[in-house]
Structure 1
Amino acid sequence: MSIKMKTHYKTCRGLLLTTALATTGVIATAPVAAQMVLEEITVTAQKREQGINDVGITVNAFSGDMLDDLGVKSAEDMALVTPGLTITNTAATGVPIYTIRGVGFSDYSTAASSTVGLYFDEVAIPYAVMSRGVLFDMERVEVLKGPQGDLYGRNTTAGQINFISKKPTDEFEAGVAVDYSRFNVLDVETYASGPITSGIQARLSAKVVQSSEGWQQSLTREGDTLGKRDEVAVRGLINFDLSDNAKLLLNMHLIRDKSDNLATTAYDGTDIGLDSTQNLISAGAIPYSLGDNRAADWTPGEYRPRRDNEMKGISARLDWDFEGMSLTSITAYDKFDRSEANDWDGAEIRDSNNINVTDIEVFSQEVRLSSNNDSNLSWIAGVYYSKDDMSEDYNYFMNDSYYSVALGITELDTRYDQTTESIAAFGHVEWQMTDKFKLTVGARYTEEDREWSGCTYDRNGTLAFAANNIITPFLIAPAGLPIPDDVADGACAVYNDIEGSDNYGQYSVFTDDIATNKWMWKATLDYAPTDDLLFYGTISKGFKSGGFNGANANTHSQLVPYGPEDLISYELGMKSTLAEGRLQVNAAFFYYDYQDKQEQDTAVTFVGNISGLTNVPKSKIKGGEVEVRWLATEGLTVDMGAAYLDTEITEWEAVSSTDSVYPTIVTFDASGLELANSPKWQFNSTVTYEWAISSKLMMMVAGDAIYKDSTTGGAQGLAYATEDYFLANARMGISDVDGDWSIKLYGRNIFNKYYYPAAFVGGNGPYVRMAGMPVTYGITASFKF
């Protein structure tokens, strides 16, 4: 989406700087005036320029300035400012879980792809773990809701988030922003942009974040803190004007992150009505905490939560205009390397610690043709190809756990390789049937093949000993299964319990592949009775391909791939501009028919019931969203957003995690339960007031209110549920009327609210939460040259 604005005013009294939560885009206003109106906006959400009020599409958009004001520093922060979007974790593995309108995939494996498409400058990022770097020099961020498969590369069901960086300019400009905040965080961002020579423009931007003081405090070691930061990001863009009708944009980027990871906080399950015996470490062996944002604990030394990650890549975009049409080609390559340690159990001991070493390489190519005339019929057609290779070494340490005492197993090493290849063809047509009616249709056919090979290996002899002396004679033999050969030290220790397969009855590497060939489509009818009112109805279908479980495993049946999921969306929306252009009200109402949702389940194995993945046959989601933007009076802007969700599983026989004992699997009827990560209500509000204090200076004060309702945890129950929370932010600043410099003071979570966006069961049993940050405050100074 791009944004173009026209300025209309009568008596100019200074520039009004705004921050807005607008359903259909970031809305700028005219200079403060006796008569104020919302401005005309042009978007390219459907990959051609259109007036935002002329197209039926539901999207939240945020400018770079707005992201700064709201304290959005990373992709994961977007959940705090976007109604209907939830970003959380299912476990402390460094993998974020993106959910839009209740559509998400709660898998902590690095190999899992997200239901939410993630795009950086129109390049797809196939794995959520690759999205965790800092955001900097952003033109805007867009959150599109509902299936978007007709125009975007990867298959997804929930929607997508587009991160769009600022581009090179024809005239020289430069700037720097310095931010210093609580916990000794220094954040410096700078850029320079302009022409290099005739026909060539460049932009170089960089960001450095340093902090020597962590905000989490150890419950057992006074003075030991977690949360230190060491991040460096650089982006270089070069635009070549090849001719009057052709240009080439190169994008080179690097993000390096050597910060601390965050730790969980363990708590007594009986405090919220859970069984305290879930803590398999032993009751009272570790300190608990509830209600303190900063309280946490972790294993020190080599197991301390930390990361050493690097994302680097290059893309090339060619745009070439012909007579009546345009050619666009986007070629991209990204490489992501990570080595990071995390601690699931919220304790000083090694109950469930992990170190992930990951290597991901992604190549993609998109070529599309589109019409570029002003006729009543416009179209886009293209092809898309991508290939990604992933390898991971997932080391797991449980030296002090229940299983160490019971079975003697202290360390595991799950190693796997995954290759995914996707090819698609797509088309999109918009037909202006009459002055008031427009029909938009689009479709994409995708063929995706995924191969996976891996095993959980003995790391230090303890798994081999347990397999040969406990699992084989006391668990496998009594179950009537074939007796396997002994496991050698360091060898694969996953038992093949799938009758008829190769190596049945042996400890062996699991290898399989899954192919998904499906259509995605979309149809929208717009009705615009006036220039200031638009109604639209959309029916769309999306799918997400199947995949594999990258967790520690005991049996081959635990690693059998889960299948694809499908979602059909029915949506009605309205966009209106009222009160002589000073009020905008936008609303959308939707119903989702959700088939074969990919979800966490229980895998019943020899050593107990552990992490598994499955498909939920049937679910339904319904809800609505409303966004209001109001220029209440001269200098005063009010923005409000609300989202309502009603989710329900309508068919699913889920595996009982308490009653099942290998090989007997006990199920229960999970129909009627809500989906995970689906707060019923979400609210956002921003109030901004700005006034001139002289002919050259402007003053600004603003406040934000954020509310997210509680969640049930889905079929995983209370241990995965979260409480509702309310957060408030405030800021005030002074700037010159031209916006060349500004100084701003801010506070976030100013009432120091205790909240936790994620809760789950630690790797081997304890109940844990991941708390949000306490109150923070700081000062930002920015200058443009």
Structure 2
Amino acid sequence: MQPNSSYDIIVTAQKRSERLSDVPLSITAATGEQLERRGITSAADLAKIAPGFTFSQSQNGTPVFSVRGVGFYSETIAAASTVTVYVDQIPLPYARMTEGATLDLERVEVLKGPQGTLFGQNSTAGAINYIAAKPTAEPEGAVSLTYGRFNQIDVDGHISGPLSDTLSARLAFRSERRDDWQKSSTRDETTGQHNFMAARLLLDWKPTERLSFELNVNGWRDRSDTQVGQARSYLPVAPGPALTPQTLATQTALINYPYVTSNDNRLTDWDVGRSRRRNDRFYQIALRGDYELTDDIKLISLSSYTHMRLFDPIDGDATNVPALTVDQTGRLRAFTQELRVEGDSGPLKWVVGGNYQYSKSNELQNNRITGSNAQVPLPPDFTTGIHHRGNRLLNNQRVRSIAGFANADYALTDTIRFQAGIRYTKENRDFSGCVADTASDPFGLRVIYPPFVVPGQCLTLLPDGSFGLFNSKLDEHNVSWRAGLNWKPNPQTLLYANVTKGYKTGDFGTLPGLDYRLYEPVRQESVLAYEAGFKTSLLDRMADVSGAVFYYDYADKQTQGQRNLPPFGNLPFLVNVPKARVVGAEMDLTLRPMTGLRINLAGTYVNSKVNGTAIVASPFAPVTVDARGDVLPNTPKWQGTADVEYSFPVSGNAEAYIGASASYRSKAYAALGATRGPAGTEDTFKIDGYSLIDLRAGVTFDKRYTVQLWGKNVTNKNYWNNVTHIYDTVDRVTGQPATYGVTLSAKF
């Protein structure tokens, strides 16, 4: 059942159940039913309901989440997002783990602004809290079947109910299949099939009145094709002349390649005869225990183990020229444990606890290259060279984090409350990595070194002058905090002001480091955020309005830069931007002018700027530029959403509805320094602004059976969410074209 008001949605943004209208934070929340009707099935879709949230995708497939201009772009599988993601307060430490989080939801909450004083991981941008639908006291179930464009066939459902007087269970599943949606721009071939499966088992056990446990066992498998970028132009990473027959042939082919110039989301290209089928597998076991020490004090334990394996074949140049292919493999593991005590003592609500996290990541990239940097110039005149056609990149990290936190919410008067929180975090990160010879390929990096180099050996130069695996450490600590004051002048209105300091941990990137100094990590970043806002209901609850203004002081922003590494040329490298600032405002309006009609309008304005000197490498050539005054990457100045739905009875046992939603974002740029290239290249790394329109209509019979017709991106808008320059081409990561279909669902 839909809530009477958007403010009636119950959220747990402060780790306790509250009405959305009573939480002094900027939050977008939506129920599971609202998500189903609007076709929100992934984190990428949240931009359709939460202005200020943006999604982009790296060429290697790592999702990048940003809120209000605060985001982190990295090609590594172990990238930790500035937007932390949780399912029932259990963290998913790596962005690549979030693919199945939207299964069978009760609701989703998008929290804007630095987080960390309440949840298990620090973050500088915000948090996404997914709340899974729970086992029910009575037997029930549901199933739905979707058929759509590209032969899309989705099946999902759940069954729930009691197993005994003290034990109940809920089993949910989803299967998604779709044929190829991308097509070659040079031949009659297609790619882009989707093959995804997910399942979750929840067990709720209440052995006594004061003790309860929740067990969550979930997992997913993705055998889809990796998405191929859309090559738009030739831009070599190593601008020197081709010196070998192989690099000359590749250079000639890429210069003469017919790059895509039309506005067609589907066009792309890839190497002939090479599979792009990924094999990603994930599972998680989580246990929550609640024990009521007294009527007012509760002890809560949250434990989880998470495991993921990945194999992703990537076409790095997005053409039919075999310039760069990457096989990215990896393994991610994480154990988390939180223990907290929370209480409600008259005017004071409080939480005290600790958190421990241990995670390991192992990443291996097997690269096969024939492009501009697949050569080693030879002395004395450097007009000839030796060709090498492959290398291996190793990136292994181990992270241990321990934290203690305390939060208090105190009623100063009947209408004024003061909130404060603090968290101390200490993290130790161990790194080992190198660039290595390709063991199975006699023409790998062995051509650079003497012939006695062992096949597969790490060839990174170490501090003692030898070659091998480089080991390093990054030990950091921080204190995040929050203080706020809120006032309820009447039951329908909340005014609040908050000051928050948040951090994101440092990291090591993936770079073919021939010298150990190239493995320099980025240090932790921080955001000091000032925010003031309001929430109110007007016109006898016919209208809900909320708004906020904010200012962020952004220090040591982590971002993707470039580093010139001869003979490899410009390669991705993580850098810190010393100073930046973000200023903005947002507004959300929900109207219910008549029975059955709901109108929602929301918008965000974000003005970001790099302050002071910020020396970064230009994405155009192996030179550095000062990004002073640049906007932050992938930060549109304007974002907006609109949704209209009208429900009406059509007979005694049937109700129909029609709805439309639209989302808009203005232009942005994919990298710092992207506007500082040679004349005529200003738009090379621009992400054009775009609007997307979705439609839906359905009929529900007996409150149990529903038929819905739907369409997404019905105007077939050509858009892209990222521009990448991993190798010798500039590629766009395009969005989906128009899709449409029908969904049949039943409850029992």
Shorter-chain TM-score above 0.5: yes
Q: Secondary structure at the match of 2:540?
A: helix
Residue 25 (structure 1) aligns with: none
Q: Work out which of the residue numbers 478, 494, 499 in structure 1 matches 2:460.
A: 494
Question: Does the CA contact (< 8 Å) of 2:428 and 2:473 recur in 1?
Answer: yes
Residue 7 (structure 1) aligns with: none
Residue 282 (structure 1) aligns with: 254
Q: Secondary structure at the match of 2:522?
A: coil
C-alpha separation in 1, matches of 2:137 and 2:521 = 51
Question: Does the CA contact (< 8 Å) of 2:436 and 2:457 recur in 1?
Answer: yes
Unaligned runs of 5+ in 2: 236-241, 243-249, 377-384, 675-682
Residue 31 (structure 2) aligns with: 63
Distance 1:182 1:81, change over 3 A: same
Question: Does the CA contact (< 8 Å) of 2:618 and 2:625 recur in 1?
Answer: no
Residue 72 (structure 2) aligns with: 105
Note the C-alpha offset of 1:437.
0.9
1:415 maps to 2:394: yes
C-alpha separation in 2, matches of 1:228 and 1:428 = 47
C-alpha separation in 1, matches of 2:373 and 2:70 = 35
Question: Does the CA contact (< 8 Å) of 1:137 and 1:165 recur in 2?
Answer: yes
1:777 maps to 2:746: no
Q: Secondary structure at the match of 2:687?
A: coil
Q: Which amino acid aligns with 1:419?
A: R
Deviations 1:407-461 (A, max 9, x none): 5121111123210010000001000100221000001100111101011111123
Question: Does the CA contact (< 8 Å) of 2:234 and 2:728 recur in 1?
Answer: no
Question: Does the CA contact (< 8 Å) of 1:266 and 1:289 recur in 2?
Answer: no
1:768 maps to 2:735: no
Distance 1:191 1:531, change over 3 A: same
Residue 191 (structure 2) aligns with: 226
Distance 1:80 1:493, change over 3 A: farther
Q: How does 1:194-593 map to 2 (within 5 A)?
A: 194-211=161-178, 213-222=179-188, 224-268=189-233, 282-301=254-273, 303-323=274-294, 324-372=296-344, 375-400=346-371, 403=374, 407-459=386-438, 460-468=441-449, 487-496=453-462, 502-504=463-465, 506-593=466-553
Q: How does 1:118-267 map to 2 (within 5 A)?
A: 118-133=85-100, 135-211=102-178, 213-222=179-188, 224-267=189-232
Q: Which structure shows the bigger proportion of residues in strand conformation? A: 2
C-alpha separation in 1, matches of 2:60 and 2:6 = 44
C-alpha separation in 2, matches of 1:746 and 1:38 = 23
Q: Work out which of the residue numbers 97, 111, 114 in structure 1 matches 2:81.
A: 114
1:78 maps to 2:49: no
Q: Which amino acid aligns with 1:115?
A: T
TM-score (norm 1): 0.88
Residue 3 (structure 1) aligns with: none
C-alpha separation in 1, matches of 2:265 and 2:395 = 36
Note the C-alpha offset of 1:80.
3.4
Note the C-alpha offset of 1:266.
0.8
Q: Which amino acid aligns with 2:685?
A: Y
Residue 49 (structure 1) aligns with: 17
Deviations 1:555-604 (A, max 9, x none): 22221111111110000001010011110110011000000111122212
State the aligned residue count: 717
Q: Which amino acid aligns with 2:599?
A: V
Which one is further off, 400-409 or 632-641?
Answer: 400-409
Distance 1:689 1:514, change over 3 A: same
TM-score (norm 2): 0.92
Unaligned runs of 5+ in 1: 1-16, 19-27, 30-36, 271-276, 470-484, 497-501
C-alpha separation in 2, matches of 1:760 and 1:714 = 9
Residue 5 (structure 1) aligns with: none
Q: Secondary structure at the match of 1:168?
A: coil
Question: Does the CA contact (< 8 Å) of 1:549 and 1:558 recur in 2?
Answer: no
Note the C-alpha offset of 1:103.
0.5
Question: Does the CA contact (< 8 Å) of 2:306 and 2:334 recur in 1?
Answer: yes
Deviations 1:495-529 (A, max 9, x none): 34xxxxx324x433221010111100001100111
Question: Does the CA contact (< 8 Å) of 1:338 and 1:356 recur in 2?
Answer: yes
Question: Does the CA contact (< 8 Å) of 2:11 and 2:109 recur in 1?
Answer: no
Deviations 1:95-153 (A, max 9, x none): 11111111011111122211111112211111111112363211111111111110011
Q: Work out which of the residue numbers 634, 654, 657 in structure 1 matches 2:615.
A: 654
Residue 602 (structure 2) aligns with: 641
Distance 1:379 1:466, change over 3 A: same
Note the C-alpha offset of 1:339.
1.1
Note the C-alpha offset of 1:634.
2.0
Question: Does the CA contact (< 8 Å) of 2:355 and 2:403 recur in 1?
Answer: yes
Q: Which amino acid aligns with 1:753?
A: K
Q: Which amino acid aligns with 2:636?
A: P
Q: Secondary structure at the match of 1:132?
A: helix
Residue 9 (structure 1) aligns with: none
Residue 239 (structure 2) aligns with: none
Residue 481 (structure 1) aligns with: none
Note the C-alpha offset of 1:659.
9.6
Q: Secondary structure at the match of 1:183?
A: helix
Residue identity (%): 31
Distance 1:300 1:739, change over 3 A: farther
Note the C-alpha offset of 1:554.
3.0
C-alpha separation in 1, matches of 2:8 and 2:152 = 39
Question: Does the CA contact (< 8 Å) of 1:687 and 1:702 recur in 2?
Answer: yes
Q: How does 1:712-731 map to 2 (within 5 A)?
A: 712-717=669-674, 718-731=683-696
Q: Secondary structure at the match of 2:284?
A: strand
Note the C-alpha offset of 1:307.
1.0
C-alpha separation in 1, matches of 2:617 and 2:25 = 41
Note the C-alpha offset of 1:468.
2.6
1:628 maps to 2:589: yes
Question: Does the CA contact (< 8 Å) of 1:181 and 1:776 recur in 2?
Answer: yes
Distance 1:230 1:712, change over 3 A: closer
Question: Does the CA contact (< 8 Å) of 2:390 and 2:444 recur in 1?
Answer: yes
Question: Does the CA contact (< 8 Å) of 1:574 and 1:586 recur in 2?
Answer: yes
Residue 22 (structure 1) aligns with: none
C-alpha separation in 1, matches of 2:570 and 2:231 = 21
1:747 maps to 2:711: yes
Note the C-alpha offset of 1:667.
3.9
Note the C-alpha offset of 1:41.
4.1
C-alpha separation in 1, matches of 2:452 and 2:593 = 76
Question: Does the CA contact (< 8 Å) of 2:616 and 2:672 recur in 1?
Answer: no
Question: Does the CA contact (< 8 Å) of 1:727 and 1:751 recur in 2?
Answer: yes
Deviations 1:49-105 (A, max 9, x none): 333323311111122222222222222222333211111123x11211111111011
Question: Does the CA contact (< 8 Å) of 2:183 and 2:268 recur in 1?
Answer: yes
Question: Does the CA contact (< 8 Å) of 1:713 and 1:719 recur in 2?
Answer: no
Q: Which amino acid aligns with 1:78?
A: L
Distance 1:80 1:411, change over 3 A: farther
Note the C-alpha offset of 1:402.
5.3
Q: Which amino acid aligns with 1:539?
A: V
What RMSD over aligned residues (CA atoms) do the two structures have, in Å? 2.3
Distance 1:141 1:50, change over 3 A: closer
Q: Secondary structure at the match of 2:70?
A: coil
Question: Does the CA contact (< 8 Å) of 2:583 and 2:606 recur in 1?
Answer: yes
